[in-house]
Each structure stands twice: as structure tokens, then as C-alpha cells.
Chain A
Amino acid sequence: MVAQDITGIQYGADGVPRLAARGVTVGYGDRTVIDALDVAIPPGVVTTIIGPNGCGKSTLLRTLSRLLKPARGSVVLDGEDIVRLRTRDVAKKLGLLPQSPVAPEGLTVADLVARGRHPHQGWLRQWSSDDASVVERALAMTGVADLADRPVDSLSGGQRQRVWISMTLAQGTDLLLLDEPTTYLDLAHAIDVLDLVDDLHESGRTVVMVLHDLNLAARYSDNLVVMQAGSVLAQGHPRDVVTAELLDEAFGLRARVIDDPVGDRPLIVPIGRTHVVPGQGSRTGTPST
């Protein structure tokens, strides 16, 4: 049985989100980026945080992953305040891929992915056979096993991002936080990476990511968190959340929302000042049938 609360988020059978922010206020120095924000991450689905530049998307993700400590409020992971947990214990539950990470020049794919085992290792236990088999599985699952001996810097952007996701997978957590996993990728590679993210979710993992592209976010997420100026404007399934009114309110974007011809999600068609066929520029206009 699946419980549903008033915001439309479906929780697991026990109705408890694994990760939630409760009244968090986060800032850098004097500048407050996020103000008294509440958000719960439903388990087992892909949640994507969207919003205009500078609205605090990445800050929220960094706060959820304990990279930033909130000035007020708390982030709760499996019922416990995340700042009270040991860094290492957090790393065993929650995998994080930061925005555009860099590997040392010449480091091989296998060595990079192997580093993902770090939270499970110790000074005397640096490379157990468990570590080796988990890394092999992570390489296979992300389709980079054939590249294992290659230096990471010799790969294409899309392959590189697969490798980083592979490292996060090797960490062995069922909660994955990805900060803009498609940055700098062309559309084909972005789709490739997001298909991979979908595979991860299919295998039971909870994914939270930040994306810039609204159509990709709508296509690949079950739960959208729309942010604006440091607070959550709307949250829910893309079908319920993505409307022309919301896009106007959150982004100041004039757009028409139509049915995605190849998917079951909404498709956003932006309306700019130019290149719009006369008569089609009104966002309330009836879609042609």
C-alpha cells in the first residue's frame, strides 16, 4: 500500500521519507540563499530540483548531502539529524556526485571507480575482494567496463560522466544525489546519462538531482521540486506541476505546455520574442489538434 500526503508525494509503505529538509536556512556569509525550506524526498523515485539560476538548487542539494551545514533547521536522514551523524556513516547511506568533478591526469577509470569504496575501507582494509566485485559490478552497470584501463581524461564528456556515476554507485548507497549530471554534455550524451539514471532508479535506488533543462527534468523525473528565490514553489509529479502559469511564476518564461508526443509527460515549448508564428504566441491559445 502506498500512502499519499496532501502535497501529492507518494511515500513508501511506511510513509517515511528517507531524506528530508526541515525548515533549513542556508547561506554563504551574510547572504541567505535558502530560507526556512521544507522538502521531503520520496523513496524509490527520481526527484529533480529545478528553478531559475541562483534560486538555490545546488545549495539545497549540497545541504541535503551534508556538504553545507544549515544555519537553522535540520536535514534528516533515516530519522536522524544529518549533522550529528559521522561523515563516514553518511557516506555509507548517501552517494554524492558534485558538479563537474575533476580527476588527476592519467588516473584510470578502474582506479577512479575503486575510490568509491572509500567509506567501506580502512587503513588495513584497503582493497577487499568485496570491494573488487562491487567495483566490477558498478563498471558493468554503467557500461564502462571496457574502458577500465583508460585514463579518465582521454574519454569523451559523456563517458566521463558515466565513470563518475559509476564511482558513486561503487559507494553502494541506495540514495544518490547528482548535481547537474548533464552539464557540458550534448543532447545525445545527456539522454544517455539520464537513461542510466533511470536504470539506477529502476533497480530500486532513490535519486535526487539538479537539472537545468526543464524538458529533460519533466521526462526523467517522478517528482519535481520547483524552487524560486530560496524556497519551494511547487512539488509533485511533472504532470501535476508543469503548467504555463508555474513556468511564468518560477522562471518568468512564457511557454506553452503540450503533451509530449513520445512520452507520457508534459512538454514545454518556450515562446520567445522572435521566431513565433503569428497567432501561436499566446500561451493560453488552444493547442492545434
Chain B
Amino acid sequence: MNETVVKRPVAPGVRLGGVSFVWRPRLVLVTLLLAAAAFLVFCLSIAVGDFPLGLSQVIATLFGRGERVDQFVIMDLRMPRALAGLVVGFALGVSGAITQSIARNPLASPDILGITGGASAVSVFLVTVSGGATTAIVSSVGLPAAALAGGLGTGLLVYFLAWRQGVDGFRLILIGISVSAVTEAVTTWLLATADIRDVARAQAWLVGSLDNRSWGEVRPALWGTLALMAVVACVAFQFKPLHFGDDVAAGLGVRYALVRAVLLLCAVLLAGVAVSAAGPVPFVAMVAPQVAMRLTKSPTPPMVAAGTVGALLLIGADLVARTALPITLPVGVVTAAFGGPFLVYLLVRANRR
């Protein structure tokens, strides 16, 4: 008998009973490695500070076996900042993966689609225009909630303006850029006319920062992201055929308009949650999905991997901003400075191959 093992032309599967999934070793492995790296940087980020801790102390405390003093420093003082970095980065990464998939264009990140711009304009308005009404709004709902509402408002505005018998990716981007330009003009005008002390406060928020986060800001962001991820996970399978366009998706039995609307709403909300927790951190939502695509060799932005890259990128950038540089910078400066060249590097490398 001369039996040769014939490689099947189709992807292998993981099957148990009626449950089955495609087995993509590279995607799973890369995502796990990224998650491990993000966890390591998360621990490092907690360990480094005015009162240095060892990595082992941090990990022991995270798993509930730490000493009381460490517990206080870690859980109450440093954890909110580090966790905010993970959550905001993850939310931005997933949000970018969704918007880029829907528009089938890597330019379509929440920054371009007006979500960030709307959140910024509303926040700057509330910070700079001090008066009875706005001060009351800030004190009652808080700046994060107002920013979320601003992001959601502009995001939906862009979606409805772009809607013409369905949503075309290119039109979505063009209208997103136009609406962003308007919100930026509003922000600039507000900054130009405002009191200098308010401008400084607004400026610090506008660049994107994880400084002085408390559990009060992190907790809603964490639960919001988890809840939205549950919705994304439910819809993600029905979204797969949409990568081939509306007609193919419809032919494959997908109610594409509904699926797309739900996912786009999730993306807008995820970006809104991120912006409300850390300000408009630039570039993470655009770069993370593209980096994840290239690392996993996936033809479309992989959502979980994109979120993990986002988390790693943001918390890593925050660590660098706090420690490696001579002056402490807001995280947004570092994400832009590192994210941009890294994307260029990936593109150049891909072109030369």
C-alpha cells in the first residue's frame, strides 16, 4: 500500500458535537501572544512609579495574594490608570476594525468618521464656556458622559447623511471628513475665544491622556466595553459575508443593512466610551486594526486581535510617555509619534515583498 497524505484544500476545523469553528492557528496564536504582551506591559505599568514595586509583587496582588500596602498602591492608586489604558485601547482597536471593515477602507477610523471630533467639540464647549447652564451640565452628568453624547451625535449624523439606499464606504468617509472639519472648526473657535486657564484644561483633555484616572471613570468604561463586545460577538458571524459587498451578503441570506447598522452603532459607542474615558487619543483606532491584519496575515481586520493590539499600543505608549522620555507627556502624543511610523513601516515592507 502506498498511501500518501493528501492535504485537504479547505481550512481545518475544531469540532465537538454540533459545535464547530474554523481552526486558524496563526490568528489564535498571535492574539494570545498579543494578550500576554499586553498583560505584561499592564503589570509593568503598575510596577513602575514613585514607589517602585517588583513584577512578582504586582502579579501576586492581582491574583489576591499581595500584602496590604501593595494592595493599596496597586488596586487604588495605579490600577485605574493601567486598566483605563487597556480598556480604552481595546475599545478603540475594535471600533477601528469595525469601521474599516464596514467602509472596506483603512482610512475609515472613528477619528475620520467624526466621532472623536464631535466628542472633542462638546467637551471643549463644556470646559470653556462657563455659565450657569453648562456648569450645571458638567456637574450633573460629567464630562465623560457629555463627550460620549457628542461622539454618538456626530457619529449618527455622519451615518444618516451618508445614507442613500444603503451606506457606501467612500461616501461615509467623505462625509465623515467634512463633519470632522466642522467640529474641529468649532473646537478651534471655542479655544480661541476662551479664558486662558480653561484653554489649558481643554488642551490637556484634547490630546488624550490617562493621567489621574480613578475607578469612577474606569468602571463605566470597562462595563460599557464589555457589554458592547457582547453585542459585537453576537453579530460578528453575520457580518462575515459583508466583506464581499451588499449583493453577495444578501445572496448568502444576510440582512446586511440591519447587521451593519448594529455594528456601526457598536463602533460609535465603543469609540465614544474610549474618548469619554481618555480623551481623543489619536491613531490607535486606525493603526491597531491594520497592525493586527498584518500580524495575523488576515485579509480583513480581525476584531479581537485589533482590540488586543490597541490595548498593547495604548498601555505601552502610556508607559513610554511616563518613564522613557525626559518629560512626562500625555499618551496621545506618543501613540501618534509611534503609531504613524510603525504603520508606514508595515506598508513599506508589504510593498517591497
Q: A110-B11, A132-B10 are in contact. Are A124 and B18 (CB under 8 A)?
A: yes
B5 within 8 A of A: no
CB distance from A137 to the nearest CB of B (A): 10
User: Which of B13, B22, B247, B251 has the most C-beta atoms of chain A within 10 angstroms of its own C-beta?
Assistant: B251
B26 within 8 A of A: no
| Pair B241/A118 contact, Cβ less than 8 Å | yes
- Which residues B141-199 have CB closer than 8 A to chain A? 165
A116 within 8 A of B: yes
CA distance A121 to B337 in the complex (A): 43
When the two chains form the complex, which single residue of B244, B248, B255 contacts A87, counting CB atoms closer than 8 Å? B255
Residue ranges of A at the interface with B (Cβ–Cβ < 8 Å): 28, 62, 65-67, 86-92, 95-99, 101-108, 110-112, 114-116, 118-119, 121-129, 131-132, 135-136, 139, 145, 148-149, 151, 168, 171
Inside 8 A of B20's CB, which chain A residues have their CB? 124-129, 131
When the two chains form the complex, which single residue of A28, A104, A111, A124 contacts B11, counting CB atoms closer than 8 Å? A111
CA distance A274 to B139 in the complex (A): 83
B236-259 interface mask toward A, CB cutoff 8 Å, 1 = contact, 0 = none?
010011011101101111110000
CA distance A27 to B296 in the complex (A): 44
B15 within 8 A of A: yes
CB distance from B299 to the nearest CB of A (A): 4
| Pair A104/B8 contact, Cβ less than 8 Å | no
B15-41 interface mask toward A, CB cutoff 8 Å, 1 = contact, 0 = none?
100111110000000000000000000
Inside 8 A of A28's CB, which chain B residues have their CB? 165
| Pair B8/A87 contact, Cβ less than 8 Å | no
CB distance from A170 to the nearest CB of B (A): 10
Q: A98-B245, A98-B247, A104-B300 are in contact. Are A110 and B252 (CB under 8 A)?
A: no
Inside 8 A of A124's CB, which chain B residues have their CB? 18-20
Q: A91-B252, A98-B247 are in contact. Are A127 and B22 (CB under 8 A)?
A: yes
- 3 A-B pairs with the lowest CB-CB distances in the bound complex, closest first: A91-B253, A96-B251, A148-B9
A sample of 6 inter-chain contacts (CB < 8 A) reads A91-B252, A101-B244, A115-B240, A115-B244, A129-B13, A148-B10
CB distance from B126 to the nearest CB of A (A): 41
CB distance from B162 to the nearest CB of A (A): 18
Q: Decide if the interface of chain A is mainly helix, strand, loop or mixed.
A: mixed
| Pair B240/A106 contact, Cβ less than 8 Å | no
When the two chains form the complex, which single residue of B11, B15, B251, B297 contacts A128, counting CB atoms closer than 8 Å? B15
CA distance A122 to B18 in the complex (A): 10
When the two chains form the complex, which single residue of A65, A92, A97, A136 contacts B10, counting CB atoms closer than 8 Å? A136
- Which residues B28-72 have CB closer than 8 A to chain A? none
B104 within 8 A of A: yes
| Pair B250/A104 contact, Cβ less than 8 Å | no
Inside 8 A of B10's CB, which chain A residues have their CB? 110, 114, 132, 135-136, 139, 148
CA distance A123 to B20 in the complex (A): 9
Inside 8 A of B8's CB, which chain A residues have their CB? 132, 136
Inside 8 A of A67's CB, which chain B residues have their CB? 247, 250-251
| Pair A66/B9 contact, Cβ less than 8 Å | no
CB distance from B16 to the nearest CB of A (A): 10
Q: A98-B245, A126-B22, A127-B21 are in contact. Are A114 and B251 (CB under 8 A)?
A: no
| Pair B244/A123 contact, Cβ less than 8 Å | no
B230 within 8 A of A: no
CB distance from A174 to the nearest CB of B (A): 15
| Pair B247/A118 contact, Cβ less than 8 Å | no
CB distance from A253 to the nearest CB of B (A): 30
| Pair B250/A126 contact, Cβ less than 8 Å | no
Inside 8 A of A111's CB, which chain B residues have their CB? 11, 299
CB distance from B235 to the nearest CB of A (A): 10
Inside 8 A of A91's CB, which chain B residues have their CB? 251-253
CA distance A135 to B9 in the complex (A): 9
CA distance A136 to B7 in the complex (A): 11
B234 within 8 A of A: yes
Inside 8 A of A110's CB, which chain B residues have their CB? 9-11
Inside 8 A of A102's CB, which chain B residues have their CB? 244-245
When the two chains form the complex, which single residue of B11, B19, B240, B247 contacts A125, counting CB atoms closer than 8 Å? B19
Inside 8 A of A139's CB, which chain B residues have their CB? 9-10
CA distance A212 to B195 in the complex (A): 68
CA distance A40 to B244 in the complex (A): 30
| Pair B253/A90 contact, Cβ less than 8 Å | yes
CA distance A252 to B13 in the complex (A): 56
Shortest Cβ distance from B294 into A: residue:
A106
| Pair B299/A106 contact, Cβ less than 8 Å | yes
Shortest Cβ distance from A102 into B: residue:
B245
CA distance A96 to B300 in the complex (A): 23
Inside 8 A of A168's CB, which chain B residues have their CB? 251
Inside 8 A of B237's CB, which chain A residues have their CB? 121-123, 126
CB distance from B150 to the nearest CB of A (A): 33
Q: A101-B244, A115-B241 are in contact. Are A95 and B251 (CB under 8 A)?
A: yes
Inside 8 A of A106's CB, which chain B residues have their CB? 297, 299
Inside 8 A of A129's CB, which chain B residues have their CB? 13, 15, 20
| Pair B240/A87 contact, Cβ less than 8 Å | no
Inside 8 A of A123's CB, which chain B residues have their CB? 234, 237
CB distance from B102 to the nearest CB of A (A): 13
Inside 8 A of B9's CB, which chain A residues have their CB? 110, 136, 139, 145, 148-149
CA distance A87 to B251 in the complex (A): 8
Inside 8 A of A65's CB, which chain B residues have their CB? 250-251
B243-286 interface mask toward A, CB cutoff 8 Å, 1 = contact, 0 = none?
11101101111110000000000000000000000000000000
Inside 8 A of B254's CB, which chain A residues have their CB? 87, 118
